Amino acid sequence: MPKINILPKEIYQLIAAGEVVERPSSIVKEMIENSVDAGAKNITVEIKNGGSTYIRITDDGCGIEKGEIKKVFVSHATSKISDKEDLNSISTLGFRGEAMASISAVAKVELLTKSENESIGTRYEISGGEEISFDDAGCPKGTTIVVRDIFYNTPARMKFLKKDVTEGNAVAGIVDRMAISHPEISFRFIRDGKQTLITSGNGELVSAIYSVFGKEVCDSLIPVDYSYENMKLTGFVSKPASSRKSRAMQFFFINGRLIKSQTAMAALEQAYKNSIMVGRFPMCVLNIELNPSLVDVNVHPAKIEVRFANEKPIFDLIYYGVKTAVEADRSVKKAELTPKIEQVYDIPQKIYSSKIDFFKKKDNSPVQQAFRLEPKREFRQVSSPTLDFTNHGDRESEVVKIPVIQSKEPDEFLKKNEQGNEQTATVDEEKNISFRLVGEAFDTYIIAEIDKELYFIDKHAAHERMNYERLKAQSTVETQMLLSPAAVSLSKDEFDAVTENGDLLLKCGFETEPFGESAVIVRAVPSLVGDSDINDLITEIAQKLLEHKTDITPDKIDWIYHSASCRGAVKAGDKTTPQEQELFIKKLFSMPNIRFCPHGRPVFIKISKYDIEKQFGRV
């Protein structure tokens, strides 16, 4: 058996440092957390060369008394816990007592600090775990730590650092996250001599988000404020129309601590179901306030991964809180008038971008005429009825009553969840709105004028969502018997999926029974399906049942309703009369919770009169 050696201090310190210090951003995270725990109201972070050669963190916190300074750099020395019971209720960001010892083991560290009770501060230097100097120094209350030359004594580790710009971006990401998790603190970030971020520290999360991510992101958010089982969820989530292609903009915090949680992520995305397109993801900045004893943050040295005593209440808190906010949001996606005039008319850039009063000229040049042209638009209105509405309004402008959605209370959501069925939105009050039918474009988009805005309605997406809501609202789905039962041939897997879910299909309005070993007979379908291709519809449902085998019953019902709603909806290109278009608009705007089709696409977009006039140079 090989001889067992007791490792010397310089070696075990380097090993321990490897668990905490992976790159410059790791150091920045640990030191900012210490500044937050010290009660700082202002924190400045400065880096050079991505942080590999220089990091400076300055705060105005409580500072460190002279007699305590050397303990900062001793392993397992901390002011955050004193006995094992404290591990069950950790409320600070740092607590392990490893960070500064690990940092000083692989870098050159200089500390300058002064506590409120001291008349003079202290300057302390330590390099590679060895003390260099310990002297008095003049400085204000608070702490400044400078870290230079990371991994100078472990070249093998240094080669794993990435380019300066990559490391710098990682540091910037840490500062961004800390800034939005603590809006009560003013953060400044200086990168290679240039200030790239400053937050107000006024305690308003929206201000911190604006400073970090900008106006466009800030304008796309809706607030979340929800309480459930002695827990509280606050923050912001994105409007469904402002979804993103990745989860990179999802930020979860537990009592102000940045965390990674599959439970939180799943709850967030489940709350957007039927409101966001497949393959798109919502943005969020959400903080969960709960009793520290219900979460274990002592799982990983980086303290990002956590373990909950019970995952379900966390899931419910996020799911119901976010869903309440999303359903209460009444915003409509605005159309973006992105084409530039020089792209449309092929006008030279130098003419387009010049500062002269071009529109005031009256030279009647070809270019001037091109700017003044307004192409005529024709909207075909034909008389082949395809929409399943029973009464037609007259052609005059109509007044439509639009209900206002009221946010659901926790008990309502829980009741809905237990029943496995969506409840219709409650109505608080009604307000009147008038519209004028403009026409229809491409036999697909119904155009209406409402209060100085043009609404472009995707009639298939809107009708599909109306069908979907109609199915969900029915306690018993209306069905129609087929004059000639349809025999549908399926693959073995599809056949098994349909026959195993026969009761579920019946609940959704489909009456099926086995017909041989690889086919089913369909005798009845939901009435809204009409004369759709039954063969294709049953095959599509079978495929969805196969893809979502592990889904709970309400989810499977949703998928079946999706298919039925889509098949029963008017299609793009179908002809609709002006009377049907007007009735369609009235039906749509009487259901204010309809903003997206079951697949997450918007059912309508709007363009303001101002935006149109801006494109024509009128404003």
3-state SS class at 474:
coil
Which position has the token pair 């007699």?
67
The 10s digit of each residue's pLDDT in 371-392 is: 333 533 332 232 333 444 433 3
pLDDT of amino acid 343: 36
Q: From CA 522, how far away is CA 530, in angstroms rounded?
A: 14
Looking at per-residue confidence, does 308 or 372 come out higher?
Answer: 308
Sign of CA dihedral 463, 468, 469, 471: positive
Q: What is the mean pLDDT of the chain?
A: 76
Section 541-554 average pLDDT = 74
Sign of CA dihedral 22, 28, 29, 30: positive
Which residues make Cβ contacts (< 8 Å) with residue 155, sequence separation at least 6? none
pLDDT of amino acid 6: 59
Lowest mean pLDDT among 26-35, 97-106, 379-388, 601-610: 379-388
Q: What would the two tokens of residue 541 be?
A: 């449902």
Backbone φ and ψ for 345, nearest 5 degrees, come out as -105, 5
Q: From CA 371, how far away is CA 358, in angstroms rounded?
A: 10
pLDDT of amino acid 179: 95
Q: From CA 581, how far away is CA 387, in angstroms rounded?
A: 9
Lowest mean pLDDT among 165-179, 245-259, 354-368, 524-538: 354-368
Q: DSSP letter for 358, please.
A: G
pLDDT of amino acid 227: 92
Cβ 597 vs Cβ 561: under 8 Å: no
| H helix intervals, 159-298 | 164-181, 205-213, 215-219, 262-271
pLDDT of amino acid 349: 41
Total-model pTM: 0.58
| 370-375 CB contacts, 8 Å cutoff, 24+ apart | 370/345, 371/341, 371/345, 371/617, 374/616
Cβ 237 vs Cβ 268: under 8 Å: yes
pLDDT of 370 above 70: no
Cα 436 vs. chain centroid, distance in angstroms? 35
Q: How many CA atoms lie within 13 A of 382 on its CB side?
A: 12
pLDDT of amino acid 552: 63
Q: How confident is the model at residue 277 (pLDDT cuts 50, 70, 90)?
A: confident
Q: How confident is the model at residue 155 (pLDDT cuts 50, 70, 90)?
A: confident
Q: How confident is the model at residue 550 (pLDDT cuts 50, 70, 90)?
A: low
pLDDT of amino acid 405: 32
CB atoms within 10 A of CB 221: 23
Q: From CA 497, how far away is CA 560, in angstroms rounded?
A: 13
pLDDT of amino acid 415: 43
Q: From CA 425, how far away is CA 538, in angstroms rounded?
A: 30
